[in-house]
Amino acid sequence: MRIRALNALLTWGLLTSASAFATTYDLSANGDTVVQEYVQPEAAVHAEQDETLLDVALRYRMGQMEIVRLNQKVDRWHVKKGELVRLANRRILPDTPHEGITLNLSEYRMYYYPPGGRQVMSFAHGIGRQDWKTPLGKTKIIKKVKDPSWHPPESIRREHAAMGDPLPEVVPPGPHNPLGAYALYLNLPGDYRIHGTDIDKIYGIGMQITHGCVRMYPEDIEALYRHAEVGTPVYIVKQPIKVGWLDNTLYIEAHPDLEGEEMSQDQRYAFALDLIRKATQEEMPDFDQKALNQALHVLDGEPTPIYERLPSLEQEQPAAMPREAGGAGSGSGSGSPGGYYHGS
């Protein structure tokens, strides 16, 4: 516990000046799919004042459910001044091509791969609720609009009218427009968009509450709007369990089921085992059973190490060869064996 507390305090020194915008990660040259923002494995901050977890999430551009899962013993609505709050640090990239945009609905998070293949940007987002599900599959951006007007569909107008909150036929641009200041239109039937949010619903980022669109923080949608061009591919997936490598260690990341869906523990375990076998290329890998069970029970979205493999000969050789041997065999250390779990 003392070591964990020390790590948290050391990391806190790094986080106090953290950017309030989307996190950009460098992609590994050897194919590792676990990305990391801070040096310490565990990232945390002390609450600046009496506040809520939602306030901390907004400050660090995390989604509401994301920060709640990481802090299951912290009162969502009353974080005391000085109380330690865990933040996301490591993430496992979804199993999709490393191009364009990936929306992993299960973790309420987006991954954007700028052209060049060297980095990935990550953003929190909200998704469609149980009766207005965000569709899955591959699509693309077909239109970009700044300061969009919202024309609520008749079905949504009826819903709001029944709740005593009638909507006009057109909501003009402005702070109370649910689309926010930017919208990226997707090539899907039903007018689905990736868009910003109005000031009334900013704490709903990272929740399952929209009518099917993907909702982002104002600063994040502005950044995505600037970077993503018309024609950018968009992969919409649902991957509650992911595995990935970092420095010859295999990690697993597990998230709860979305509203209206249910996977039993046996199903979750079998699914995780299939991913582990695929990543290790072993029929019965000797993984850490206790760590796997804990990750599948807690479901906090924190990547957990479960398996370690021997480094390849090319990775070991530079450290083992004496300096006077010259340049022969002094590779970059990127020749790791196959079995990486990613979609590129």
Q: Can you tell me the distance from the alpha carbon of 140 to that of 133, in angstroms, rounded to the nearest whole number?
A: 18
- The 3-state secondary structure of 104-126 reads EHHHCEEEEECCCCCEEEEEECE
SS3 assignment, position 288: coil
Q: Contact, 340 vs 31, CB < 8 A?
A: yes
HSE-CB at 298 with a 13 A cutoff on CA atoms is: 20
Q: Can you tell me the distance from the alpha carbon of 47 to that of 300, in angstroms, rounded to the nearest whole number?
A: 20
Q: Can you tell me the distance from the alpha carbon of 103 to that of 90, in angstroms, rounded to the nearest whole number?
A: 17
Q: Can you tell me the distance from the alpha carbon of 111 to that of 141, in angstroms, rounded to the nearest whole number?
A: 15
Residues marked as catalytic: 195, 213
Q: Contact, 120 vs 221, CB < 8 A?
A: no
Which amino acid, one-letter code, is at 262? E
Q: Residue 276 phi/psi, 5° resolution? A: -65, -45
Closest CA to 126 of 209, 41, 13: 209
What is the enclosing helix (H) or strand (E) of 267? helix 265-280
Q: Can you tell me the distance from the alpha carbon of 291 to that of 313, in angstroms, rounded to the nearest whole number?
A: 28
